[in-house]
């Protein structure tokens, strides 16, 4: 699976651990930054990573900031991205099963390394259920595509 990963300074340390873990799992990834722990603005990494997933260049993306909140807000502004902020394994599984999330956000100051690894393993290893959940995603896509307000549902 082709994955893009990015963090701000608040997620830099956890990102290093997750990249090592992705190597262990055998996944191909690209790091879009940041490349050290110097302070930087999370939109500067979140928007390019989300755009890379939305364009299809990458199948999935992982974003990490201090809480995961800022990067998830940014990512979800990009049409076609479904970014889920997860702090536990069950949420990671359910967001793949029900929401077909294509981006994962985590908080480097909120969760520990082993929890983050378990979240990543569950998120990468869980497939979308489809069925009634696909109908709901189609409604999101229709909303994103509508130019003049809410589409007919």
d(CA 88, CA 83): 15
Active site residue 98: yes
The residue annotated as part of the active site, out of 9, 17, 27, 98, is 98
Our answer to whether residue 83 is catalytic in this structure is no
Q: How far, CA to CA in Å, does 47 sit from each of 42, 59, 148?
A: 9, 16, 25
Catalytic residue among 65, 74, 83, 86: 65
| For helices 89-99 and 113-125, angle between their N-to-C axes, nearest 10 degrees | 20
13: left (phi > 0), else alpha (psi -120 to 50), else beta?
Answer: alpha
Which residues participate in catalysis according to the annotation? 65, 98
């Amino acid at each position: 699976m082709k994955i893009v990963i990015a963090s701000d300074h608040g997620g830099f340390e956890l990102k290093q651990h997750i990249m090592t873990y992705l190597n262990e799992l055998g996944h191909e990834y690209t790091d879009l930054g940041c490349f050290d722990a110097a302070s930087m603005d999370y939109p500067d990494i979140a928007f390019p990573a989300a755009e890379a997933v939305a364009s299809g260049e990458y199948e999935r993306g992982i974003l990490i900031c201090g809480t995961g909140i800022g990067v998830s807000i940014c990512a979800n502004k990009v049409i076609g991205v479904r970014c889920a902020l997860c702090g536990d394994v069950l949420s990671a599984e359910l967001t793949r099963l029900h929401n077909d999330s294509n981006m994962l956000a985590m908080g480097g100051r909120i969760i520990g390394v082993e929890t983050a690894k378990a979240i990543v393993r569950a998120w990468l290893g869980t497939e979308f259920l489809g069925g009634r959940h696909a109908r709901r995603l189609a409604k999101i896509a229709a909303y994103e595509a509508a130019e003049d307000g809410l589409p007919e549902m």
